[in-house]
Each structure stands twice: as C-alpha cells, then as structure tokens.
A and B are shown apart, each in its own frame.
Chain A
C-alpha cells in the first residue's frame, strides 16, 4: 500500500508544480524556491511529518522535503542548545542533499565536456 501512497503523493506534488508553471509566469527556479518554503511551513505545522509517514519515498524525494529537513534540524537544535544551537544546527539534517549535489556536480563538471 505504501507504493500506491508514494506514487500518489509524489505525483500530486509534481502535478501541483506543473499547474503553477502552466498558469503563471514563474520559472522552475521560482517554483522550487516556493516549494522549499512550502515544505518549511508544512513542517512548522507538523503536517509534513505525517505526509512522510504516509507517503514514504514519495514525500522524501520532492524538494519540499529539503525545507522540512532544514526546519526539523533548526528546531531540534534550538530546543537542545538555544539560539546558538539554531545557528549551529540548522543544516544538521538537510546537509545530505546539498553535500552530495556539490560533490557530484564538481566531479561531473571536471569530466564533462563544456557545452556551447
């Protein structure tokens, strides 16, 4: 059943993005920024944790999950160590995607032929 949930939630988020792109003048960069903020807000209200439990990978792949992880890391470290914890721990959960993207982009750009 988790497979169907995963299909539905990931498909729904992508379809929502496409609906926004089709009906506004926003670019994909705007859209992804908007979705990260959406993830932060959903996480703020505790909704995203429920979506993750229900949708599995379907909810953990979209960019909204990056916002969720940033908020989760920030709030958990704020609770633990106060304001300095918030500053020090904001990336504690969300750093995975960024780190892997930087490393793999760097390596690929070393080997790939420049495009014109």
Chain B
C-alpha cells in the first residue's frame, strides 16, 4: 500500500471517530443539563412550594441569565466549542447568540449597535417560530 493511500484511510476513519465523539459529547452534556435542571425544578417544587409549571419557567430564567452572564465574562465560547450541540440546542444557545451579538456590536452604540444587532443571530429562530406557529395554528383551527 502506498503511503498516500494509507494516509487517506487513516484520515477517513479518524474523521468518523471525531463525529461519533462529538455526538456522544453532545448527548452526555445535553442529558446532564436536562438532569440537573429537572433536579432544580423538583427542588423548587418540593422545598419552596412553587407549582411545577412555574418551576419549569424559573428553570428557563435561570438558564438564560446564567448563560448570558457567562457569555459576558467571555467564558461561554470556550465551553460551547467543547460541548457543541449539548449547549447550542438548549435555551442556553439562544441566550448565548443574543448576548454575544449584543456585546460584539456594543462599540457601535446603544441604538445602532446593541439595539440593531441583538437579534442578528437569534432573530431567525423567533421569526420562523412565529411564522410556523401562525400558519399551523390557523390550519388546526380550520380543520
């Protein structure tokens, strides 16, 4: 076997392993986050007598605020590049996208910088969520 072919095979296999590793990391970190937040919700429910629905809302608030602050401290980017989808798909990714866009354009001022750019990355989530919810709700209403 030629050296080049050998290198090619090694490369293709190691790429596959990388993919598997990333998926596994996402699964574990995402799962761990879900587990911890469930613990927090049950704690709020049992110890502080907050109804379960409201407890889940507090969990969302906690996640958004903490990931926003961690992004502000410049810490979150490193964690995300390791955790990948484990932190992108949960609400943390949404808050991270908004806060980092706001901070990146802060030097352009409060209106044209922070105000105009805050939804630069996260805006499409809201827009397509609203468009989808509007038409699907209409469809279900007509049905």
Number of B residues near A (Cβ < 8 Å) is 72
Q: Is the Cβ of B34 less than 8 Å from the Cβ of A97?
A: no
Q: How far is the CA of A55 from the CA of B56 in the complex (A)?
A: 12
Q: How far is the CA of A4 from the CA of B61 in the complex (A)?
A: 23
Task: Specify the chain B residue showing the minimal Cβ separation from A56.
Answer: B38
Give the contacts of B31-53 with A (CB-CB under 8 A): 31-35, 37-42
Chain B residues with CB under 8 Å of A44's CB are: 136, 139-140
Interface string of A78-116 (1 = CB under 8 A from B): 110000001000110010111011101111110110110
Chain A residues with CB under 8 Å of B61's CB are: 96, 100
| B79, CB-defined interface residue at 8 Å | no
Interface centre among A40, A67, A73, by most chain B C-beta atoms within 10 angstroms, is A40
Q: Is the Cβ of A90 less than 8 Å from the Cβ of B134?
A: yes
The distance from the CB of B122 to the nearest CB of chain A, in whole angstroms, is 7
Chain A residues with CB under 8 Å of B103's CB are: 108-109, 112, 114-115
Q: Is the Cβ of B35 less than 8 Å from the Cβ of A14?
A: no
Q: With A6-B38, A32-B89, A86-B141 in contact, is A101–B64 under 8 Å at CB?
A: yes
Interface string of A1-12 (1 = CB under 8 A from B): 011001111111
Q: With A14-B89, A40-B129, A63-B89 in contact, is A7–B35 under 8 Å at CB?
A: yes
Q: Is the Cβ of A37 less than 8 Å from the Cβ of B93?
A: no
Chain A residues with CB under 8 Å of B31's CB are: 6-8, 10-12, 14, 58
Q: How far is the CA of A39 from the CA of B74 in the complex (A)?
A: 30
Q: How far is the CA of A63 from the CA of B28 in the complex (A)?
A: 17
Q: Is the Cβ of B72 less than 8 Å from the Cβ of A36?
A: no
A binding-site residues for B, Cβ under 8 Å = 2-3, 6-15, 17-19, 21-23, 28-29, 31-33, 35-37, 39-41, 43-44, 55-58, 60-63, 65-67, 70-71, 73-75, 78-79, 86, 90-91, 94, 96-98, 100-102, 104-109, 111-112, 114-115
**9 closest A-B pairs by CB:** A10-B34, A14-B30, A11-B31, A58-B34, A70-B133, A74-B137, A18-B26, A108-B72, A109-B102
